[in-house]
């Protein structure tokens, strides 16, 4: 069996970002690293958007916006995003960048194989794929196992699920300088449902019909809603250039409890997805850096995780949406109606002080959160 220092089971966003950080740090040249994925990562399987003020991955950004609409049935507000920019990165551009870098590193290899199992055996780990088995010192796993979350009831498990159409219209109806972050004016039907619009020119945009809820919809329902929205925008003639679909876990389940001395869960499988929004890209930039810094000093992977106050805030929101899925638009609207958008984005980035947290939380419907807090205290 071939032996490696590190094996990455799954080589998507979190694994590639971690390996990229390892290469940039220059501290892992003496480590043999194997990346395994069942998918060769040669197609554009997703687009990532995130707000950022530090120029992260700027050179590969496919589109950028300085402002974004927030809308519901009763109001609309154009949020000025400065000092942030809202950015879009194509998955394939990111995969290509990282693979270009790692193919120059003789200590890093990639194999296109399906992982069947991995386990820790004393001081080493064994990873079994459909093709062969490998041993290594440590495993970084990003293969998400939904059964872990489904088999418990202490932490709610919702999904951010959507279908997106990238369209080109005959009519010039879009403003490429302004995205639509959340448009809750669509019928809620007992859920938290919104449209998300990312225009890249006056005639081109990605439109996603999105829900934060427990149950997925039949494909036709997302697509009918996208068609209705396109009609509402006044578009009569358009073509669909690309489609995408996603189902992102929204949960505060403590994935890190499954970490061991030599196995760590990363990405969505490790709780890197922001539970209250489904955003993962920005978190992954921070968590992968922290992981790589940790590895240059420590070896016991159980020591990395630290729970913070934002985990608890997210838990309260998910507790509410789990029981009363229809109130999502009321909660987000109360935050965005008058709130300072810079502070809200900083809060969602988990970078606010307690005083700034209060500025955001104070705008939310207090009764719902107090009730959720009391119920949660009795569930711990």
Ligand X SMILES: Cc1cc2nc3c(=O)[nH]c(=O)nc-3n(C[C@H](O)[C@H](O)[C@H](O)COP(=O)(O)OP(=O)(O)OC[C@H]3O[C@@H](n4cnc5c(N)ncnc54)[C@H](O)[C@@H]3O)c2cc1C
Min dist CB 359 to ligand X, Å, is 24
281 binding ligand X? (CB under 6 A): yes
285 binding ligand X? (CB under 6 A): no
Question: Could you give the angle at the alpha carbon of 341 between the alpha carbons of 76 and 90, nearest 5°?
Answer: 90
Candidates 94, 139, 165, 267: give the one binding ligand X (CB under 6 A): 267
48 binding ligand X? (CB under 6 A): yes
Per CB under 6 A, the segment of 74-82, 100-108, 216-224, 275-283 that binds ligand X is 275-283
In the complex with ligand X, the residue whose CB is nearer, 38 or 76, is 38
What part of residues 10-39 is at the interface with ligand X (CB under 6 A)?
10-15, 36-39
For tokens 């992981």, what's the residue? 291
- Partnered with residue 121 across adjacent β-strands are 124
Report the distance separating Cα 122 and Cα 91, nearest Å.
37
Min dist CB 114 to ligand X, Å, is 4
Candidates 73, 114, 150, 309: give the one binding ligand X (CB under 6 A): 114
Min dist CB 374 to ligand X, Å, is 32
Min dist CB 338 to ligand X, Å, is 26
Size of the site for ligand X (CB under 6 A): 27
Min dist CB 115 to ligand X, Å, is 4
In the complex with ligand X, the residue whose CB is nearer, 21 or 37, is 37
Report the distance separating Cα 76 and Cα 183, nearest Å.
9
Is residue 155 within 8 A of residue 241, CB to CB? The reply is no
Q: Which residue is nearest to ligand X (CB)?
A: 12
288 binding ligand X? (CB under 6 A): no
Beta strand pairing call for 178-183 and 192-199: antiparallel
Sequence-ordered list of residues with C-beta below 8 angstroms from that of 18, at least 6 positions apart, any chain? 8, 140, 266, 288, 291, 292
Radius of gyration of the chain (CA): 21
115 binding ligand X? (CB under 6 A): yes
DSSP single-letter state for residue 60 = G
Give the largest Cα separation in the chain, rounded.
Answer: 64
Report the distance separating Cα 106 and Cα 16, nearest Å.
16
239 is written with which tokens? 């073509």
Candidates 176, 246, 254, 365: give the one binding ligand X (CB under 6 A): 246
User: Which among 160, 238, 158 is positioned nearest to 203, based on CA atoms?
Assistant: 238
> Residues 198-237: x/- map of binding to ligand X (CB under 6 A)?
----------------------------------------
181 binding ligand X? (CB under 6 A): no
Min dist CB 373 to ligand X, Å, is 27
Task: Give the Cβ contact number of residue 338 at 10 Å.
Answer: 9
Question: Could you give the angle at the alpha carbon of 80 between the alpha carbons of 195 and 203, nearest 5°?
Answer: 50
132 binding ligand X? (CB under 6 A): no
Positions touching ligand X (CB under 6 A) are 10-15, 36-39, 46, 48-50, 114-115, 142-143, 244, 246, 248, 267-269, 279-281
């Amino acid at each position: 069996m071939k032996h490696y220092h590190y094996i990455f089971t799954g080589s998507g966003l979190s694994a590639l970002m971690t390996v990229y950080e390892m290469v940039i740090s220059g501290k892992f040249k003496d480590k043999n690293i194997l990346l395994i994925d069942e998918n060769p990562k040669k197609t554009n399987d997703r687009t990532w958007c995130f707000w950022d003020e530090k120029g992260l991955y700027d050179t590969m950004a496919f589109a950028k916006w300085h402002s974004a609409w927030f809308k519901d049935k009763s109001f609309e507000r154009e949020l000025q995003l400065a000092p942030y920019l809202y950015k879009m990165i194509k998955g394939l551009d990111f995969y290509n960048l990282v693979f270009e870098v790692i193919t120059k590193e003789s200590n890093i290899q990639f194999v296109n194989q399906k992982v069947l199992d991995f386990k820790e055996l004393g001081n080493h780990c064994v990873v079994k794929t459909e093709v062969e088995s490998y041993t290594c010192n440590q495993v970084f796993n990003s293969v998400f196992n939904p059964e872990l979350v489904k088999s418990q009831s202490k932490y709610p498990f919702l999904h951010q699920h959507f279908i997106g159409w990238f369209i080109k219209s005959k009519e010039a109806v879009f403003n490429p300088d302004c995205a639509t972050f959340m448009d809750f004016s669509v019928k809620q039907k007992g859920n938290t449902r919104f449209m998300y619009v990312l225009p890249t020119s006056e005639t081109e945009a990605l439109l996603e019909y999105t829900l934060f809820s427990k149950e997925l919809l039949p494909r036709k329902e997302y697509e009918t809603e996208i068609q209705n929205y396109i009609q509402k925008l006044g578009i009569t003639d358009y073509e669909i250039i690309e489609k995408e679909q996603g189902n992102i876990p929204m949960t505060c389940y403590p994935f890190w409890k499954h970490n061991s001395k030599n196995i760590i869960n990363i990405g969505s499988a490790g709780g890197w997805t922001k539970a209250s929004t489904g955003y993962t890209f920005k978190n992954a930039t921070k968590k992968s850096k922290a992981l790589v810094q940790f590895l240059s000093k420590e070896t016991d992977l159980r020591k990395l995780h630290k729970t913070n106050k934002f985990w608890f805030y997210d838990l309260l929101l998910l507790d509410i949406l789990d029981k009363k899925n229809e109130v999502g638009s009321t909660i987000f609207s109360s935050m965005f109606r008058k709130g300072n958008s810079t502070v809200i984005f900083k809060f969602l980035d988990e970078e606010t002080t307690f005083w700034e947290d209060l500025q955001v939380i104070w705008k939310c419907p207090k009764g719902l959160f107090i009730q959720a807090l009391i119920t949660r205290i009795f569930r711990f």
